[in-house]
A and B are shown apart, each in its own frame.
Chain A
Amino acid sequence: MENTVLKVENFCAFFGDNKILKEVNLSVSKNVVAALMGPSGCGKTTLIRCVNRMHELIPGTAISGKMTLVNEDIYTMQPIVLRRKVGMVFQKPNPFPTMSIYENVIAGYKLNGIRIPRGELDNIVEQSLKKAALWEEVKDTLHRKGTFLSGGQQQRLCIARALAMDPEILLLDEPTSALDPKSTSQIEELFVELKKNVTMLLVTHNIAQAARVSDFTAFIYLGELIEFGPTEKMFTVPKDKRTEEYLTGKFG
């Protein structure tokens, strides 16, 4: 495929002697939302963290296999270079408490010491906040602390912060699990809007969310990628029995 953003080949991850991911093969093409679903502890978060090498923060982890981001091997790149190309949004909203909304959006530039003219920064902030559907709500309070916002707004601010770096792919690690239903639906709408220009890898343990938002779905169970394919197809005619059982709520 020409426009493959992320390609995972025979990928295994270990924590100590535990094999957490077993021979995962997966490819995500440009401007789609791929959802990773599965019961808790199945390794979906580990997989997403391996994409920007955040799993390396925990001592004792190891990997084997290959992972490429736009034809570049992720594991030969410098982590800090890689992480500037891969945006990540976490379970819990985590805006920087010392910074204003404005500074939070451009934190990726500011903290990395990348100098950009003021006018361009204003533009980046406005565009990123518009993409994250937050601009209308905060345009008059850009210089207030980001922590004064509500949970859902904070999460959208974190999405804006990741988008400001213009990432190749956006990793979403259960981004709505700490939010109320209304904020959740706002953020899901946002993802549908965003996938016109952004590639996203979404971890969720919410089957309905995967169905609502994603184009492709991967079902991971006990570290194995059981099934990967177009969401519609998987939810209507699953190939594997375990997928069917998970989707019908027999386990998980």
Chain B
Amino acid sequence: MKDHAGARLIKDMIFKCAVCLFAFISLLPLYLILYYITKNGIMVINWDFLFSLPRPIGESGGGVFNAIIGTVMLIILSCIMSIPCGIAAGIYLSENKKGKLSNTIRLCVIVLQGTPSIVIGIIAYLWVVAPLKTFSALSGGIALSIMMLPVIIKTTEETLKLIPYHLKEASLALGVPYHRTILKVILPSGISGILTGILLSVARITGETAPLLFTAFGNQFMNMNILKPIDSLPYRIFYYAMSPYPEWHSFAWGASFILVVLTLALNLFARGISVKWKIQF
């Protein structure tokens, strides 16, 4: 009997060690990525890099200001398009749990979430770039907003589902019309979850390159016109990294660093909101 117990203890030990080891291995790449990007990127970051435009080949210096502005503009554009649609679809799904349309929407959301981003880029090219005959920030925004939609719909639905039914009853029993009940009771009660979803979807699209390759296209110069091509951080990284010049390579690291910091900040902010604004029922 005693020997058996010993063997079991050893097996337990081995299992525990294995779990720890694999957990460590899976974390390792993440830390290495952060380490490399910080090590190579932080040297490049300075005032000039952040606030000047790319210089032509042959001139040293230059920066990524237009790419930062472009990325911010693309995010704003795609938010304007996807947030109202996403939240509305989420409300519909949580209000109509069963039904043909609900099931169809749910299926579409799953399919959309799994669609390769380059395919979404092609769709945006067909819908917007080809008819307008020009690459544009607008088409990039549309491609990105399609990528945001499934995340927003899913999180809105899941958040609203968790809101107790008796709150809706309380509001309706006071004679509050249905639309006001949704807008003033249900949505505010789920605001932290919905905001978290939006921020996570923004974090998801911030680093997307593929859908922008033939929509927003990239631009050496500063552009604020949504009907003209616009630069973005991921595209700028791609452009700098593909060049044969060592200085531009280091610029690619610098831009990567900005992008990672931005995404990390968004994720931390989303976490903060979901904890701080949590509503107790």
Q: Of A79, A86, A90, which one neighbours B169 at CB under 8 angstroms? A: A90
Residues of A within 8 A of B164 (CB): 94
In the complex the two chains form, is A97's CB within 8 Å of B174's CB?
Answer: no
Q: How far is the CA of A80 from the CA of B175 in the complex (A)?
A: 4
Judge whether B16 is part of the interface by a CB distance below 8 angstroms: no
Q: Of B166, B174, B191, B280, which one neighbours A84 at CB under 8 angstroms? A: B174
Judge whether A88 is part of the interface by a CB distance below 8 angstroms: yes
Q: Of B173, B176, B177, B184, which one neighbours A88 at CB under 8 angstroms? A: B173
CB distance from B194 to the nearest CB of A (A): 13
Per-position binary interface string of chain B over residues 172-193, scored 1 when its CB falls under 8 Å from any chain A CB and 0 otherwise: 1111110011001100110100
Per-position binary interface string of chain A over residues 63-84, scored 1 when its CB falls under 8 Å from any chain B CB and 0 otherwise: 0000000000000000111111
Q: How far is the CA of A87 from the CA of B171 in the complex (A)?
A: 11
Residues of A within 8 A of B173 (CB): 52, 54, 83, 86-88, 90
A-B contact count (CB 8 A): 75
CB distance from B95 to the nearest CB of A (A): 11
Residues of B within 8 A of A86 (CB): 173
**Which A residues, 100 to 123, have Cβ-Cβ distances below 8 Å to chain B?**
107-108, 111-113
Judge whether A15 is part of the interface by a CB distance below 8 angstroms: no
CB distance from B49 to the nearest CB of A (A): 44
CB distance from A38 to the nearest CB of B (A): 22
Residues of B within 8 A of A220 (CB): none
In the complex the two chains form, is B174's CB within 8 Å of A111's CB?
Answer: yes
In the complex the two chains form, is A111's CB within 8 Å of B172's CB?
Answer: no
Per-position binary interface string of chain B over residues 49-76, scored 1 when its CB falls under 8 Å from any chain A CB and 0 otherwise: 0000000000000000000000000000
CB distance from B101 to the nearest CB of A (A): 15
In the complex the two chains form, is B167's CB within 8 Å of A84's CB?
Answer: no
Interface size of A by CB at 8 A reads 31
In the complex the two chains form, is B184's CB within 8 Å of A111's CB?
Answer: yes
In the complex the two chains form, is A113's CB within 8 Å of B180's CB?
Answer: yes
In the complex the two chains form, is B189's CB within 8 Å of A107's CB?
Answer: no
Q: Could you say which of A85, A98, A161, A165 has the most chain B C-beta atoms within 10 Å of its C-beta?
A: A98
In the complex the two chains form, is B175's CB within 8 Å of A112's CB?
Answer: yes
Residue of B nearest to A165 (CB): B174
Q: How far is the CA of A70 from the CA of B117 in the complex (A)?
A: 63
Q: How far is the CA of A165 from the CA of B170 in the complex (A)?
A: 13
Interface size of B by CB at 8 A reads 22
Judge whether A37 is part of the interface by a CB distance below 8 angstroms: no
In the complex the two chains form, is A111's CB within 8 Å of B169's CB?
Answer: no
Q: Of B167, B172, B176, which one neighbours A57 at CB under 8 angstroms? A: B172
Q: Of B167, B175, B184, which one neighbours A97 at CB under 8 angstroms? A: B167
Residue of B nearest to A52 (CB): B173
In the complex the two chains form, is A97's CB within 8 Å of B281's CB?
Answer: yes
Per-position binary interface string of chain A over residues 178-217, scored 1 when its CB falls under 8 Å from any chain B CB and 0 otherwise: 0000000000000000000000000000000000000000
Q: How far is the CA of A165 from the CA of B279 in the complex (A)?
A: 26
Residue of B nearest to A82 (CB): B175
Judge whether A127 is part of the interface by a CB distance below 8 angstroms: no
Judge whether A96 is part of the interface by a CB distance below 8 angstroms: yes
In the complex the two chains form, is B167's CB within 8 Å of A96's CB?
Answer: yes
Residues of A within 8 A of B166 (CB): 90, 92, 94
Q: Could you say which of A107, A158, A161 has the most chain B C-beta atoms within 10 Å of its C-beta?
A: A107
In the complex the two chains form, is B170's CB within 8 Å of A90's CB?
Answer: yes
Residues of B within 8 A of A145 (CB): 280
Judge whether A147 is part of the interface by a CB distance below 8 angstroms: yes
In the complex the two chains form, is A147's CB within 8 Å of B181's CB?
Answer: no
In the complex the two chains form, is B169's CB within 8 Å of A54's CB?
Answer: yes
CB distance from B102 to the nearest CB of A (A): 14
Q: Could you say which of A79, A83, A113 has the most chain B C-beta atoms within 10 Å of its C-beta?
A: A83
Residues of B within 8 A of A57 (CB): 169, 172
**Which B residues, 212 to 263, have Cβ-Cβ distances below 8 Å to chain A?**
none
Residue of B nearest to A98 (CB): B188
* With contact pairs A90-B166, A161-B174 given, residues A111 and B281 touching in the complex (Cβ less than 8 Å): no
In the complex, given contacts A80-B176, A108-B175, what are 17 additional A-B residue pairs having Cβ atoms less than 8 angstroms apart? A54-B169, A54-B172, A81-B175, A83-B175, A90-B169, A90-B173, A94-B164, A96-B189, A98-B185, A98-B189, A98-B279, A111-B174, A111-B176, A111-B184, A112-B174, A145-B280, A147-B280
Interface residues of A, Cβ cutoff 8 Å to B:
52, 54, 57, 79-88, 90, 92, 94-98, 107-108, 111-113, 145, 147, 158, 161-162, 165
Interface residues of B, Cβ cutoff 8 Å to A:
164, 166-167, 169-177, 180-181, 184-185, 188-189, 191, 279-281
A and B contact pairs by CB, cutoff 8 A, 8 listed: A84-B174, A90-B166, A95-B170, A96-B171, A98-B188, A98-B191, A108-B176, A161-B170
The 9 nearest A-B residue pairs measured at CB: A84-B175, A83-B175, A88-B173, A108-B174, A111-B176, A94-B166, A94-B170, A98-B188, A80-B175
